[in-house]
Amino acid sequence: MKLTLLGTGDFRPYRPLGSAGYTLTNGDDMLQLDFGRGNLVNMAKSGIDWTVLHAVCISHVHPDHISDLFQFLQAWTVTNAWKEIDSELVIYGPRGFSAFFEHYRTVLVTTWDKLPQIVEIYDDTFTVQGFTVTTKSMQHSTDCNGYRVEAGGKVLCYTGDTEINSNLLELAQGADVLLTECSGKNADELLANQYGHLRPTDIAAIANQSGVKKVVVTHYPDDPAERELRIAEIAKEYKGQIIRGEDLLEIDF
């Protein structure tokens, strides 16, 4: 599989970085995890063709994870209506996602001649193209899915946004890649306990207990010194490979 990081920043766009969004490819199969700020522009920079994207998994509906989703849907619906492309699309989301989508569909003005299939799914396993995907509910300030994606004998676990919890430990078990948010540094106890986010010490604990092969750090502040601090804090407690996520980075595994 190949993982492309389309956005590694958080909700504060102080620097020109995208927010949560990741493309997984396995041969001709492509799966998008979240669809945040700047993801479409970074897709173009990465040479990823959005017209062949048929499956999207959303962790939760905070804007930093979905802000480019509706721009993508405008492109998808209108180009289908104009017969420029002829493609199917399914979007998976957490508890409450169907009602959320329907609300926005009725207020956002674009051509909805063709509708994507919306699947609300959590604590379940499904297959899409060549991917087997397992979801488990995470612990965030709103309903949130973590995802375990398996294809070609490889496994990636994506945390979404969450505090440390036993479902995440199950999802990450033996994964080749743990793609993890890192919204807090270790001193940010309030962030972890009140808003539901992971700190370096939490990430190290999950990585050690689940036996993941490598950790890819994302969803952290744009400031390079802050990023270094978080990587260093993880490295104190986890001795496996740690990849410092940056926009447009591609990881083959």
Q: Which is nearer to Zn ion, 70 or 253 (CB)?
A: 70
Q: Which is nearer to Zn ion, 125 or 194 (CB)?
A: 194
Nearest to 60 by CA among 126, 137, 3, 128: 137
Interface with Zn ion by CB under 5 A: which range of 25-33, 100-108, 160-168, 230-238?
160-168
- How far is the C-alpha of 153 from the C-alpha of 150, rounded, in Å? 7
Place of tokens 């905070």: 62
User: Please, what is the minimum distance in Å from the beta carbon of residue 197 to Zn ion?
Assistant: 8
User: Please, what is the minimum distance in Å from the beta carbon of residue 140 to Zn ion?
Assistant: 8
Q: Which is nearer to Zn ion, 64 or 233 (CB)?
A: 64
Say whether 90 sits in a helix, a strand or coil: strand
What the block records as the tokens of 66 is 């979905």
Task: Calculate the CA 194 to chain-centre distance.
Answer: 21
Residue 143 touches Zn ion, criterion: CB under 5 A: no
Q: Which is nearer to Zn ion, 116 or 160 (CB)?
A: 160
**Cβ neighbours, 10 Å, residue 211:** 11
User: Please, what is the minimum distance in Å from the beta carbon of residue 65 to Zn ion?
Assistant: 5
Q: Which is nearer to Zn ion, 64 or 163 (CB)?
A: 64
Interface with Zn ion by CB under 5 A: which range of 141-149, 156-164, 166-174, 244-252?
156-164
User: Please, what is the minimum distance in Å from the beta carbon of residue 195 to Zn ion?
Assistant: 10
DSSP H helices, the chain, are 39-46, 63-66, 69-81, 97-107, 166-172, 189-190, 200-210, 224-237
User: Please, what is the minimum distance in Å from the beta carbon of residue 161 to Zn ion?
Assistant: 4
Which of 68, 161, 202, 233 touches Zn ion by CB under 5 A?
A: 161
Q: Which is nearer to Zn ion, 6 or 89 (CB)?
A: 6
Nearest to 108 by CA among 149, 139, 67, 141: 67
Q: Largest alpha-carbon pair distance within the chain? A: 54
Binding residues for Zn ion restricted to 49-88, rule: CB under 5 A:
64
Interface with Zn ion by CB under 5 A: which range of 88-96, 139-147, 155-163, 241-249?
155-163
What the block records as the tokens of 230 is 């978080």
**Total residues in contact with Zn ion, by rule CB under 5 A:** 2
- How far is the C-alpha of 58 from the C-alpha of 90, rounded, in Å? 11
What the block records as the tokens of 148 is 């375990």
User: Please, what is the minimum distance in Å from the beta carbon of residue 114 to Zn ion?
Assistant: 29
Contact 10, 161 (CB under 8 A): no
Contact 219, 8 (CB under 8 A): yes
Interface residue list for Zn ion (CB under 5 A): 64, 161
